[in-house]
Amino acid sequence: MRVLVTGGAGFIGSNLVEELLDRGHEVKVLDNFSTGRRENLLSWNGDVELIEGELRSYERVSNAVRGCELVFHQGALPSVPRSVQDPITSNEVNVNGTLNVLLASRDAGVRRVVFASSSSIYGDLPGLPRVESMAVGPAAPYAVSKLAAEQYCSVANKVYGLETVALRYFNVFGRRQDPNSHYSAVIPKFITAMLNGKQPTIFGDGEQLRDFTHISNVVSANLAAADVEAAAGHVFNIGAGHPRSLNELVATLNRLLGTEIEPNYAERRAGDVRQSWADVSLAKAVMGYETTVGFEEGLGITIESYTPQPAAA
């Protein structure tokens, strides 16, 4: 089967590309490398058809989806802080870009689009764990853009007959997640800081709760979302279903690393959500979703991927 992965040079996208290739699919990647990295695709240089370009260009997206049966739409401009600083670009990429993917997929006869949404759309409204049927309350432009894109997916399914599935990711972590970006996620930042004997910075008191989800679980969810007929037209939470505080994260990393590094606490950032974790019962019931890699195991795998390996003799 021929598939397109938008944002395929990014963290989640490249892990998905790897699994798709292992399963024998023909894979195309659309990426502009604004956040994705070329080295993430080097291992499959001859096996992936790379189209370099912008989601904001309908023509470029249309060229990329041509001949594909499935589209995994992972491409986005991520980060809550980035969207607070530049909401216009976040909207152009995440909303207009998604609309381009949906319309181009419709026009090219794509069977299904699996869209990478975000748990951030729930905001800080009461009610935990988060359930797909509950009200949403985006607290940052990034979250608004993901919710708007979700709505476009729903409309594309209802109006154009394009099968769509939206997956609301909860705090994904794992190998190939860039620790060096100002906007990078908390786990790669903490791991790289602590590997270098530095204090990780927590914005707030560290008691905020997150549902840290290893990348392997997210890849499995995407594959199920593409294959299960009953998933079409629905939105699913994809997480581990277990809340962890940032203080607990630091304590676990200290244990795994054999260190005793105290975090540095800083002022809470605008747009940050206080508590968030997933009820994944709908994904389990409809798609058979299960978490195969847990929190500590996933952290151990991730630490290993960030640890320099000794040169071969």
Check: CB of residue 97 under 8 Å from CB of residue 30.
no
Which stretches of the chain are DSSP H helices? 11-22, 58-65, 80-85, 87-91, 97-108, 141-160, 186-195, 215-227, 246-257, 281-287, 295-306
Q: Are strands 209-210 and 244-245 parallel, antiparallel or unpaired?
A: antiparallel
142 counts as catalytic? yes
Check: CB of residue 272 under 8 Å from CB of residue 204.
yes
Check: CB of residue 202 under 8 Å from CB of residue 263.
yes
**Rounded to the nearest 5 degrees, what angle is found at the Cα of 122, between the Cα atoms of 119 and 126?**
130
Largest CA distance in the chain: 61
Residue 38 CA to its chain's centroid (Å): 18
- Catalytic residue selected from 122, 142, 169, 289: 142
Check: CB of residue 95 under 8 Å from CB of residue 144.
no
Task: Give DSSP secondary structure letters for 64-115.
Answer: HHTT-SEEEE------HHHHHH-HHHHHIIIIIHHHHHHHHHHHHT-SEEEE
Question: Would you state the structure tokens that stand for residue 185, as one six-digit string?
Answer: 């996620």
Nearest alpha-carbon partner for 168 in 147, 187, 193: 147
| Residue given tokens 């969810």 in the structure block | 221
Which amino acids are annotated catalytic? 142
